[in-house]
Structure 1
Amino acid sequence: MRRLGSALVFIGVLGVAVAATAPALAHEHPSGITDLVTPAVVRVEATAHVDITLLDHIGELVHVERSYEVPIGSGTGTIVTPEGAVVTLTRVVKNAKDVEVYAANKVFADHHKVKIPADFERHHVKNDRLDHHLQECYPPKRPTATCIFDVTTEIRVFPNISPPDRQGFKAEISSTADGPDGPAVLVPTGRADGGTGMPTAPLAAAVPDKDGSPVAVAGFTGRPAANLPETVDIAHLRAGGAGEGGRRFKDPEGKADEPKKLGALIDRGLLGGPVIEDRKGEVVGLLTGGGDDARMLGVREVTRALAEARVTPRRGPIDAAFEQALTRFHTGYYGDAVPAFQRVLELYPGHTVAAARLKEAQAKRGTAEDKGAAQVRMSPGAEHRGPPLWMFLVAGGVLVVAVLAAALLLWRRGGGTEASGAAGADAGEETEVAGPPTPVPPPFRRSGETADPTVVVSRSFPPLPRTPSRPGDAVLVARDPGAGPAGTGARSTETGGGAADGPGPLSQQEGGFTGTGPQKYCTACGMRLGPAHRFCGYCGHPCET
């Protein structure tokens, strides 16, 4: 009986909590606005691999083969599709300097033991014959060339995940601008493991026109690591400026020299990083410049480059779940934010921002800062312990008496019916005898189905939007923190491979998936799929096989 009273109290409290949460979900995101973008910020590094063969025929003919790794550029990029498409600046991945000249200087200095700087300039040496061979080695290729070159460019993208990915994934250039400060679009070529995709950043429709509009900038000064998180700083846009010339920065209060401050960040690695609008958390442009001058390339140039590359920016299931969790967190409903962030980590185990916010929400859950817990404590039903026990005893006694009276009445009516039936039989009246019940055919099942049809059960969270997908489309996901190199199931030796690397996905912690194969997710809504599921039990989307 006490359980019944407690259940009534729980239902009342739950109603109050749901009513309080609904306005919070509809509330506009008030703070921590860069959290919407930083999960999609990545480190981009471009390197040229040069294989050079020097045909040395000053004495006996000798083929001298060398290989050199020549850095082209590095900076910050932003993921704009769940499949991993990245936008950055052209000079991050494409250099006007000739890497063949660099390789020619290196091979001559190494083989002939002459002093030639290892740079991208053409040089001369004092020995006339050797200098002639050096000039014939420099590009372009001629019939009398003394060097043969083979140049390949490798671009690696390092996502913002934890534990950090030291290998990254490969990407190729989809489009670049004519100038170094124009936008470039990269598409991934490696580690397409399937799943719900990667976090993306929302793009704004236009740049704020008001002078002094507050913004934030984000990026990496090196490869993401536990001791090297993303760098975030504040700035203000000046009015005017468009095209690749860009918008300039200026502190309206004059307290900081923002062009110089941001220029130093660009030189350290934030080149091409996103500029984030302060109210909605959307990307309004990319950082360009350097030194004492920093500017912003506007979002219109970025979207035009994406259209030319035939890449459509869009959000994914991870972004929808993450925004729901952030809304709960930044409106002070920490108890509700805990399962929401756990849901995000279930979809994307390496989500650094979700993991950090989950830790904060767990620490504040149930405290005075938790608005959900405060409302429960203030509700009248929270202090009410239920009706007295004697009321349940009296009600139970009345119920027993009513049941006994009904049984007695039915017994008496049954006896009278039997007597009337016997009298009718003696009088020769015909009576209808009930036959066996008609068997009900089993429910129709298709061939191979052994289980009952899937029942869609409602969740406490709003449903995630369906993501358009086609059979066979591969989607990039964060590497499992406990997995080894792509394509293997071994623990990574680089990160220790132990429990100290952090908890794994909730589907494995809580026993949601016990199979020996990899956990599969619905490509439409991101829910977990069982080994034999043909349709998603959450949104009904057919499973991709």
Structure 2
Amino acid sequence: MARLTALAGGLAATTALLAMPATAHEHPSGITDLVTPAVVRVEAVSHVEITLLDHLSELKHVERSYDIPLGQGTGTVVNPEGAIVTLTRVVKTDDDDVAVLAANRIFAAHHKVKIPQDSKRHKLKDPQLDRHLKECYPPKKSTATCIINVTTDITIFPNVSPADTDGFKADLVRAGSGPDAPAVLMPSGRAVGSVGMPTAPLADKVPDAVGAPTSVAGFLGRPGPNVRSTVEIAHLSKGGGAGDTGRPFADPEKKTDEPVKLGGLADRGLAGAPVIGDKDGHVIGMLIGGGKSAKMIGVREITSTLTKAGIAPRRGAIDSAFEGALTRYHTKYYTEAAPGFQRVLELYPGNSVAAELLKVSLAKRGGPEDEGTKRAAAPVAGSTPLWPFIAAAAVLFVAAATGAFVLWRRRAPADRPGHPEQPEPPPSPPPVVTGQPLDEGANQTVVVRRSQPFGVVPQQKQVLTAQEPSVKYCTACGMRLGHGHRFCGYCGHPSET
């Protein structure tokens, strides 16, 4: 029986091997879809409340409030709780600069004087107004003519569909030492999803090779139907210091001035955008600079800032489902990719990247481009033909059937299926002699038999009758004579005769 089980197991394993679908391979080069679901738009606004104390003509308190745009850029979600990394200059500035701008605005509006609407300190021709203006500028003094309170509102606009026009608020957890140092944000005010948000994987290090290809992904405006994520190709140059100095970009073929191209994009909203490695699609750095000089700070600066903020980057359930579906999609197994993207949308309904790729997968499912369909229809060119495996499976099947038949033949008949054990018939009763009395005086040995189960040796038991005195019978009629009788009691014939 054990031999039969082994043969059947081998047959099942061979069948499963033949039926097993091809497994997906690792991500092909240049994938940015692994990161773009976690890319967000970051907008920061300074809210200023200012009160001007006018003592020139009559005592007046003039109150105003201003929302001054502080920064606009791109951020990257690094854990399901919604922790975001971006540049410090996108979310933080010197509060004194904002206070100076508010003082210039309220003074120009109330006293009807021309003052540039910027964050620089200006001088007026009227000595009295000029003195009051200087007393309005920070820092606050006992003779100040202005009371100023500055707060910062940070709003995050995720990459979702339909677009989130309101966004959600975030708090600044940690700012860097300089404007181009990483800053860490955490959501506040409302939940970001039952299982969190999509995240981007962080690389272990920056590629050392000069000319290593990368991609920069971010938003030039709030995500929506008319504003999609912008992805630009760039190449790492040699050299570059650590920290805020960054590593420069350079086109190895010298067809494009990449620092100028990326600097312009940084000014328009890609400041703080993730720089994505071409090998596995992980984040290797962040875009800094602007104007005609854009650079990249490495992933070590990002992870160091996260560590100081007490936040650990990690992946979540959404990312596991999305990465599995994305692998199948980029290897053209569209039939297998579609359920994976559907699962991602169940976990995070707004994932615009998953929704778009699901639409493509459903359109190509079962078509000529579907590798799963082609593999099922015909063997891949150059691969091992299937007939040796089919022949081996047939041989295993015949061997298993032969072994089962031999084992069946070797069984005892009572053990064979369909042949239940037949019990021995009971012993026949002793024949009854009619017309002649039984000889009760004979010494007899009676053997009593019992039917036993198959394979058990039956036990024999002998029953011996007791010895009796000699018994005599009438020679005329055959009737038994009593002990000591001289004549037959039935016919009267003498017993001695």
> Per the shorter chain, which TM-score range?
0.7 to 0.9
CA contact 2:172–2:186 (8 Å) conserved in 1: yes
Give 2:140's aligned residue: 141
Distance 1:15 1:341, change over 3 A: farther
- Structure 1 letter corresponding to 2:90: V
1:297 pairs with 2:293: no
CA contact 2:30–2:277 (8 Å) conserved in 1: no
- Cα distance in 1 for residues equivalent to 2:189 and 2:30: 33
- Cα distance in 1 for residues equivalent to 2:29 and 2:360: 15
What is the CA distance between 1:126 and its match in structure 2? 2.0
- Cα distance in 1 for residues equivalent to 2:337 and 2:167: 30
What is the CA distance between 1:256 and its match in structure 2? 1.2
Give 2:345's aligned residue: 345
- Structure 2 letter corresponding to 1:293: S
Give 1:185's aligned residue: 184
Give 1:238's aligned residue: 237
Pairwise CA RMSD? 2.5
What is the CA distance between 1:20 and its match in structure 2? 2.4
CA contact 2:332–2:371 (8 Å) conserved in 1: yes
- Cα distance in 2 for residues equivalent to 1:264 and 1:332: 36
- Structure 1 letter corresponding to 2:101: Y
Matched-pair identity in %: 60
What is the CA distance between 1:102 and its match in structure 2? 0.6
What is the CA distance between 1:413 and its match in structure 2? 10
Give 2:79's aligned residue: 81
In structure 2, the gaps of 5 or more residues are 1-11, 380-385, 388-416, 427-497
- 54, 57, 75: which one aligns with 2:55: 57
Distance 1:413 1:275, change over 3 A: closer
What is the CA distance between 1:113 and its match in structure 2? 1.2
CA contact 2:30–2:279 (8 Å) conserved in 1: no
- 14, 18, 33: which one aligns with 1:35: 33
Give 1:440's aligned residue: none
1:103 pairs with 2:95: no
- Cα distance in 2 for residues equivalent to 1:145 and 1:304: 41
Distance 1:18 1:198, change over 3 A: farther
CA contact 1:56–1:146 (8 Å) conserved in 2: yes
What is the CA distance between 1:360 and its match in structure 2? 0.8
Give 2:65's aligned residue: 67
- Structure 2 letter corresponding to 1:354: A
Give 2:409's aligned residue: none
Q: TM-score, normalised by structure 2?
A: 0.72
- Cα distance in 1 for residues equivalent to 2:290 and 2:143: 42
What is the CA distance between 1:291 and its match in structure 2? 1.1
TM-superposition CA deviations, 1:412-463 (whole Å, max 9, x none): 999x99x99xxxxxxxxxxxxxxxxxxxxxxxxxxxxxxxxxxxxxxxxxxx
What is the CA distance between 1:240 and its match in structure 2? 2.1
- Secondary structure at the residue paired with 1:20? coil
What is the CA distance between 1:15 and its match in structure 2? 5.9
Give 2:316's aligned residue: 316
| 1:385-424 pair list within 5 angstroms | none
- Cα distance in 1 for residues equivalent to 2:337 and 2:258: 36
Distance 1:59 1:101, change over 3 A: same
CA contact 1:53–1:63 (8 Å) conserved in 2: yes
Distance 1:193 1:288, change over 3 A: closer
CA contact 2:41–2:223 (8 Å) conserved in 1: yes
Give 1:327's aligned residue: 327
What is the CA distance between 1:31 and its match in structure 2? 4.3
CA contact 1:209–1:240 (8 Å) conserved in 2: no
- Cα distance in 1 for residues equivalent to 2:225 and 2:140: 46
- Secondary structure at the residue paired with 2:251? coil
Equivalent pairs counted in the alignment come to 378
CA contact 2:341–2:357 (8 Å) conserved in 1: yes
- Cα distance in 1 for residues equivalent to 2:46 and 2:81: 25
- Cα distance in 2 for residues equivalent to 1:283 and 1:333: 26
- Cα distance in 2 for residues equivalent to 1:193 and 1:299: 25
- Cα distance in 2 for residues equivalent to 1:224 and 1:231: 10
| 1:94-493 pair list within 5 angstroms | 94-96=92-94, 98-192=97-191, 195-241=194-240, 242-378=242-378
What is the CA distance between 1:32 and its match in structure 2? 5.3
Distance 1:15 1:167, change over 3 A: farther
Q: TM-score, normalised by structure 1?
A: 0.66
